[in-house]
């Protein structure tokens, strides 16, 4: 059964709404969603305020029985290895009882045997699913590069899963259907957004990309494009009609 989640970038369709305000109203709407993917850059830059906001996220998670996922726009790999900030992100995720985290790939490099073992142990101890995605950079958003990284991760048995971002392929001028054929074996989450010819996110009925192809038979589909609250139910219905 496919679970539908909302990424808080959706709030950009309601100008002036904070991430916390958006989550509160989202819960009140009683929509058929399994959870939410919150964005790190939308939390306060002030440490005390950020902690308070994460506590609110935790309360909302419990109130609405949501699965909480975390989008962190930072690089997992640096030229010297795994980003040491990973520990901070994991602590933040734990503070609101999140289950998974998506990060940018960064400067992908082959880890030493010792570093790979340490990283694998850390992620095993955390109980968190860690994911990368195809983003909007040539290094991590072009099909050949993404495929190479995913093949290496599999070969080295690193505990890193993959989010297929439909709209990012369009932005990078890659054929989404070709990309799907090449990397679908690695996918366990879909970031759903549909772009127009100008690179702007549009509603699903303006079907420039074959989004039904990628949402069928998936475990998790996350809506990741701006819309207002009146548009969310119809977008959910459109996806439900495909995944049933």
Residues forming a β-bridge with 101: 70, 130
- Tell me what pLDDT residue 219 has: 95
What is the mean pLDDT, run by run of 10 residues, along the chain of 244 residues?
97 96 96 98 97 98 98 95 97 98 96 96 97 96 98 97 97 96 98 89 88 95 97 97 89
Task: Say if CB 73 and CB 42 are below 8 A apart.
Answer: no
| 114-121 CB contacts, 8 Å cutoff, 24+ apart | 115/81, 115/82, 116/156, 116/158, 119/82, 119/158, 119/159, 120/157, 120/158, 120/159
User: What is the domain partition of the chain in residue ranges?
Assistant: 3-243
Q: What is the pLDDT of residue 237?
A: 97
Distance of CA 1 to the CA centre of its chain: 19
Output the CATH code of domain 3-243. Answer: 3.20.20.150
Under DSSP, the state recorded for 219 is S
d(CA 54, CA 60): 10
Residue 172: its pLDDT value, please? Answer: 95
**Tokens 């901070």, located at residue:** 88
Decide the pairing of beta strands 194-195 and 35-39. unpaired
* pLDDT score of 206: 86
Model pLDDT, residue 199 = 83
């Amino acid at each position: 059964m496919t679970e539908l989640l909302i990424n808080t970038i959706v709030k950009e369709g309601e100008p002036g709404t904070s991430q916390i305000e958006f989550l509160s109203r989202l819960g009140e709407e009683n929509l058929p969603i399994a959870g939410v993917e919150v964005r790190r850059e939308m939390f306060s830059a002030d440490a005390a305020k950020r902690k308070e906001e994460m506590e609110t996220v935790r309360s909302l998670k419990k109130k609405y029985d949501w699965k909480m996922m975390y989008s962190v726009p930072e690089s997992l790999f640096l030229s010297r290895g795994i980003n040491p900030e990973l520990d901070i992100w994991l602590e933040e995720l734990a503070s609101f009882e999140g289950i998974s985290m998506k990060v940018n790939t960064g400067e992908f490099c082959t880890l030493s045997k010792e570093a790979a073992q340490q990283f694998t142990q850390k992620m095993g101890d955390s109980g968190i699913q860690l994911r990368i995605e195809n983003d909007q950079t040539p290094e991590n958003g072009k099909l050949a590069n993404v495929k190479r990284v995913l093949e290496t991760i599999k070969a080295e048995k690193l505990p890193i899963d993959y989010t297929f971002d439909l709209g990012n392929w369009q932005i990078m001028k890659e054929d989404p259907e070709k990309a799907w054929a090449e990397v679908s074996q690695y996918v366990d989450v879909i970031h759903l957004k549909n772009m127009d010819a100008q690179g702007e996110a549009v509603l699903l009925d303006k079907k420039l990309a074959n989004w039904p192809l990628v949402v069928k038979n998936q475990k998790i589909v996350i809506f990741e494009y701006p819309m207002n609250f009146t548009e969310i139910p119809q977008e959910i219905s459109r996806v439900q009609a495909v995944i049933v």
